[in-house]
Amino acid sequence: MAKQSDKLLEVNNLHVSFKTHGGEVHAVRGVAFDIKQGETLAIVGESGCGKSVTSLAVMGLLPKPNGKIIDGSIRFKGTEMTTLTPKKMRRIQGVNVSMIFQDPMTALNPTLTIGSQLTEGIIHQKKVSRKEAHQKAIEMLHMVGLSNGEQRMKQYPYQFSGGMRQRIVIAMALICEPDLIIADEPTTALDVTIQAQILELFDHIQEETGVSMIMITHDLGVVAKTADRVAVMYAGKIVEMGSKRDIFYRAKHPYTQALLNAIVRVDIPADTLKPIEGAPPDLFAPPDGCAFCERCPFAMEVCQHVQPPTSMVDENHAVDCWLLDKRADTIRQKVEIL
C-alpha cells in the first residue's frame, strides 16, 4: 500500500494527441489531477471532451500507433508510468488498476465462458493456480450479487441480461484486488432501476475493499451520488475541480454553471431549462484562448486570446477562468450589470 504518500495516482500536465486522416487531434491538453486512497473522483464532461482518453492514457490503453502521450507525467504510487516499457507498464497496471467499460455487451467475449474470462486476468497476472482462481472468481461473483456461482462460471455472456453482464464486468475488475478502478460511464447503457442497483453495488464494494475510483460520467445525478471530488472537463482540459459540494453549490466556472442549468431535476418543479447554445470547439485547431469563450455569456476580450490560468478559490477548489483572475475584479462587475 502507498505509505510514502497518500496519493495513489498523480497525473500532471498530461497531453494526448491522435493522428487521424484529418490531421492531428489534440484530445487532452494539459490535464492534472490526483487520487487518494479510497477516494472517488468523478470526471464529467460532454462527449469529445477528453474524459475517456484521459482514462485510457492512465491505463496505458491508448490505441497504437495513432494515440500518443506527447507530454506530462502519470505517477502511480510514486512510479512514473510514461517512461516505462509497455511490458512493465502492463505488469503494474494489470494488477493495480482495472477498468469498467460503458457497454457490458462489448466488454465481454461472446465466445468464452464467464469463468474463463473471470480467471484469465488473475492467472496471468498473479500466477495463481487454476483452482485458486476458480475459487476466487466464485467469491467475486457472490460479492457482486450473483448467486449460484459454480453454475454461472460455465455460462456464456448471452445468457445474462445487461445488468447482470455489468455485474460480471465489475467482478472481473475486482478479481486482481486493484487499488484503483476506472469506470467509464458504467451505468449509461443501463435502465434507471438497474443503474440504482449497480451504483449501490459500487458503494458496497468501496466500503468492503477501500478501492479508489475514477468515475467517468456525464450524469450529474450519478456524480452527486458517488463522488467525493469532481473534475469538470471541457475541450481537453479540466476547467474546474473541487469537492462535490464545491461543484454543486459553489461552481465558479461558467461552463460548470451552465451544465448545472441544462438539466431538469425530478425532485423540483421543472419550469426553466437553459440549454448551452452552440457546440464545443474543433480540437483539430484548438482555440488560442479559452475553449469555452464562444459559448460563454461572460466572455471578455482576453478570453479569446490567452488561455486562462488556474485560480484557486480555496485549497481544494481550482478554476481555469479569467473571471477569477485578480485583475478581473473590475471587469467582473461590468459583466454582472449586463
Partner 1 sequence: MVGNVPLLKISQLKKYFEIDRSQVLKAVDDVSLSIQPGETFGIVGESGCGKSTLGRTIMGLYDKTGGEIEYNGQNVDQMNADQRFRLHRTMQMIFQDPYASLNPRSTVLEIIAEPMEIHKTCKSARERKEKVEQLLEEVGLNRNYLNRYPHEFSGGQRQRIGIARALALNPEFIIADEPISALDVSVQAQVVFLLKQLQLEKGLTMLFIAHDLSMVKYISDRIGVMYLGNLVEMTSSHNLYENPLHPYTQALLSAIPIPDPDIEEKRERIILKGELPSPINPPSGCVFRTRCPFVMDICAKKRPEFVEVEKGHYSACHLHAPKNERVIVHMHKRAE
List interacting residues with partner 1 (CB under 8 A): 46-47, 161, 163-164, 191-197, 199-200, 218-225, 244-245, 248-249, 258-260, 262-267, 269-270, 273-277, 279
Q: Considering the complex, what minimum distance in angstroms separates the CB of residue 249 from partner 1?
A: 8
CB 267 within 8 A of CB 280: no
Helix-strand-coil percent breakdown of the chain, rounded to 5? Answer: 40, 25, 35
Angle between helices 114-126 and 130-143 (to 10 degrees): 120
Crossing angle (nearest 10°) for helices 162-174 and 130-143: 130
> Based on CB atoms, which residue is closest to partner 1, 80 or 200?
200
193 or 333: whose CB is closer to partner 1? 193
Least distance to partner 1, CB of residue 168, Å: 14
Compute the least distance from the CB of residue 327 to partner 1, in Å.
Answer: 30
- The angle at the Cα of 132, spanning 128 to 137, to the nearest 5 degrees, equals 105
331/110 Cα distance (integer angstroms) = 59
Rama region for 48: left / alpha / beta (φ>0; ψ in -120 to 50; rest): left
Cβ–Cβ < 8 Å for 46, 219: no
**Beta carbon of residue 112, minimum distance to partner 1 (angstroms, whole number):** 23
> Which residue's CB is nearer to partner 1, number 47 or number 333?
47
Name the strand (E) or helix (H) holding 80.
strand 79-80
Q: What is the C-alpha end-to-end distance of the chain, expressed in Å?
A: 53
In terms of CB distance, is 72 or 162 closer to partner 1?
A: 162
Between 85 and 249, name the residue whose CB sits nearer to partner 1. Answer: 249
Taking the least distance from each CB to partner 1, the nearer of 204 and 305 is: 204
| Cα–Cα distance measured from residue 201 to residue 41, given in angstroms and rounded to the nearest whole number | 17
The SS3 call for residue 7 is strand
CB atoms within 10 A of CB 325: 15
Q: How far is the CB of 163 from partner 1 (least distance, A)?
A: 6
- SS3 (DSSP) at 91: helix
For the CB of residue 227, give the shortest distance to partner 1 in the complex, in Å. 8
| Residue 99 or 201 with smaller CB distance to partner 1 | 201
* Residue 231 near residue 45 (C-beta atoms within 8 A): no
What's the min distance (Å) between Cβ of 335 and partner 1? 22
Least CB distance to partner 1 at residue 186 (A): 13
Q: Of 197 and 209, which has the nearer Cβ to partner 1?
A: 197
